Structure 1
Amino acid sequence: MQNNITIKTHKNGLKYLDIKTPQCKAMIFLQGAQITSFIPNDRPDLLWVSEENTYQPGTSIRGGIPICWPWFGPHQDSKKPQHGYARNQLWELNSISYDADTLCITMYLPNTKELLNQDLNLEIVFKLSTELQIELINRNNSDETIQVTQALHSYFPVSDIKKVKVNGLKGAEYFEFGKGPTSDHEDCVQINNETDRSYQKVDEQQAILDESREIIISRINSKSVVLWNPWIEKSKSLSNFSSIDYKKMICLEAANILDDKILLEPNQTHKLILMIKEK
C-alpha cells in the first residue's frame, strides 16, 4: 500500500484528513487538530469515539484526542470556554512528510494572538507508524512570562469498564474532583464509580489492561495525568455521549496541570510528547 492522504468533508461540514499508509490508518479533523481514529495494521482502533457525535462545525467531538489549551477545565471567567480554545478552532495544515516508515503531519493554530491577547504559538506534530506519537509545542514569542495548563484528552476503547485495570499510578497523589488530595496504594486502579482524578508527579508510563489487549501510554515533559470516566449519572447530561457510552471508554490524559503547570519564559518553548501503542 502506498501513502494515501486525502482531505475529505464530513456530511455535516467538518473537514478531515483520511490517512492510509503501509503501517496504519488514521483520521484527523482540522477542527481542533483532533485525531479520532488510529488503527495500526492488523489491530483494532487504539482510540474511542462516541457514535452520538454530530460532527457539526463549532461543536466539540466526543472522543479521539481533544486538545485542552491554554487552560484545563473551567476558566475563572465563566464566559470563557471549558478547556480553552484549541479544540473548537480550525487549525492550519503546515507540512506532511514521510521518513523511515513514519508519516509526520504538522499543524498550527492560527490567530492565537487575537484569541489570547498574548503572543503564544501552538503547534502539533503527529507521527504515525505502527505506534502513535503526538507532540504539542508551545512557543512564547512575547517579552513576558505566560502560564499554560493543558492536556491531550485521550479517549481509549475498553470491552467493559468494570473489568479494566490501569497500572503505573501506584503511590501517586491525586485530587478527585470536589474532594481533597489522596493517593493510590494498589498496583492497579479499577473504575467502579464516577472518576475524575488529577494525578501529580506520576511515572512516565501507564498501561490500560483490558481482557484481550494492553494499551501502553507514555509521556515526556508531563508529570500529571487525568483519569476520567463519567459513569452512569453524569453520562446522562453529557453532549454527544449516550447513556451507556461510559461502559466502553476510559480517558487517561497526558497533562500539564496543577503543580505541573507550564510557566513559559520569553522566547521559551515547551514540548509535551505523548506515545500510544498496543503491547
Structure 2
Amino acid sequence: MTERLKELGLSIDKQLDNAVFSATNNDGMLFYWIDHPLGKALISAYGAHIISYHPSNQSEQFWLSKASALDGSAPIRGGVPICWPWFGNTRQPNHGYARTQIWKLASINTTEENTEITLALSDDMLDKAEFKFSLECKFTVGEELQIDLSTTNLDNHPIELGAALHSYFATHRDSAKVSGMGDSFLDKTDDFAKKTQTEFALSEETDRLYTQPNHHITLTHGNGHQLKLAHQGEDTVVIWNPGDTKAEGIADIHAGGAQEYLCVEAVRTQNPIQLGVKETYTLSQHLSVPI
C-alpha cells in the first residue's frame, strides 16, 4: 500500500483491473485507487471526487485539507469537487447536490498509456430529482490527467443547468502566479465590481470571475515549476482563496491551510447550459506538468 493510502486510513479491498483497486476507510466510504505506471490517483465514490493525482516522478498536484471529513458527513475539502447542477450559493445546497451523492462505477479501461475510470449518477439514484438525467465523470489518468463531466438530458423537455470543476491545486499561495485568464475580472468580494489587473497578484481574500479566459491557462509555482491547464465547456475561470482571516472561520480548513493551495476553477455560470432533449454537454479539464 502506498504512503498516500496509509495517510488517509484506507485499506485495499480488491483489485478491479490491472491498475485499479477498490479501497475503504474505517467509515466504510468507498474509494478507487489508480496505480498506473505513468500516473496515480485516488477517487472517492462520494461525489465522484478526485482527491489525489501525481504523474510518475512528479509531486502531488492537488491539495486536500487535513481537516476534511472523509466519512460522507460533508463535502470533501480539496481535490476537485464537482459542482452540479448549479454553481455557487444562490440555491441550496451550495454548489448543487452531485458532490454529496454516492456515484456508481460505470466502466474501467487500462492501456499502456493510461487508465480510464468512469463514475455515474442518474436521477433514479436520488430521492427526488428536478429532471431526468445521466451524469458521468470520466477520469483519464496517466502522464497527464483529463476530467470530463458529461450531462445527458433524458427528460422530455429542455433543462437548464450550471457546472464547475472546483480544483484545489497544491501550491504556495503567496508565490503562485496564474496566466491566461485575461486582465479583467469581476470581484465577488467587492459586490462583483469589474476590475483590471495586468500582472497577477492575490488580495487577502480572493474570489474573482474571469469572464473571458483562454482555454489554456498556466499556474506557475514559486519554484518556477508550471502546471498547464486546458478547459473546454466553461465560460468563466474562477480564482479563489479565502485568505488567512476568513479561513479561520471555515471548519474544514486546517490552521495555515489556506496558504497551501489556490483554486483555479473551470465554471459554466454566465450563460447557463440550455440542454435539449437527448443532448449532452461536457465540461472538461486537462492537466499536464511539463518536465
TM-score normalised per structure 1 = 0.92
1:227 aligns with 2:256: no
Displacement of 1:254: 0.8
Superimposed CA distance per residue, residues 150-170 of structure 1 (whole angstroms, 9 cap, x where no aligned partner): 100100011x31111111122
Displacement of 1:31: 0.2
CA distance in 1, matches of 2:251, 2:19: 33
Task: Compare 110-119 and 229-238 and name the one that shifted more.
Answer: 110-119
Alignment of 1:128-147 (within 5 A): 128-147=141-160
Alignment of 1:101-180 (within 5 A): 101-110=113-122, 111=124, 114-158=127-171, 160-180=172-192
Total equivalences in the alignment:
272
CA distance in 1, matches of 2:49, 2:101: 10
Whether the aligned pair in 1 keeps the contact of 2:235 and 2:270 (CA below 8 Å) is no
- When the two chains are superposed, the root-mean-square deviation of aligned CA atoms in Å is 1.7
Write the letter of the residue equivalent to 2:73: G
Superimposed CA distance per residue, residues 63-121 of structure 1 (whole angstroms, 9 cap, x where no aligned partner): 00010100111134xxx311111111000000000235121111101336653221122
Write the letter of the residue equivalent to 2:26: K
Q: Identity of counterpart residues, as a percentage?
A: 29
Displacement of 1:270: 0.4
CA distance in 2, matches of 1:102, 1:25: 10
Displacement of 1:202: 1.2
Write the letter of the residue equivalent to 1:21: H
Write the letter of the residue equivalent to 1:134: I
CA distance in 1, matches of 2:70, 2:77: 9
CA distance in 1, matches of 2:138, 2:105: 10
Displacement of 1:182: 1.5
CA distance in 1, matches of 2:173, 2:147: 26
Whether the aligned pair in 2 keeps the contact of 1:68 and 1:83 (CA below 8 Å) is yes
CA distance in 2, matches of 1:183, 1:169: 13
1:81 aligns with 2:96: no
CA distance in 2, matches of 1:23, 1:115: 40
TM-score normalised per structure 2 = 0.88
1:271 aligns with 2:282: yes
CA distance in 1, matches of 2:222, 2:245: 25
Displacement of 1:54: 2.9
Partner residue, 1:92: 104
Superimposed CA distance per residue, residues 153-195 of structure 1 (whole angstroms, 9 cap, x where no aligned partner): 100011x311111111223443424523424341x42223101
Write the letter of the residue equivalent to 1:152: L
Consecutive aligned runs of 4 or more in structure 1 exceeding 4 Å deviation: none
Task: Compare 234-243 and 88-97 and name the one that shifted more.
Answer: 234-243
Superimposed CA distance per residue, residues 195-236 of structure 1 (whole angstroms, 9 cap, x where no aligned partner): 111221211011111122111111012121111001012101
CA distance in 1, matches of 2:129, 2:58: 40
Partner residue, 1:69: 84
Describe the SS at the equivalent of 2:246: helix
Describe the SS at the equivalent of 1:109: strand
Partner residue, 1:13: 28
Structure 1 gaps of 5+ residues are none
Partner residue, 2:269: 257
The correspondence for 2:216, drawn from 205, 213, 219, is 205
CA distance in 1, matches of 2:119, 2:146: 14
The correspondence for 1:26, drawn from 25, 41, 44, is 41
CA distance in 2, matches of 1:82, 1:183: 26
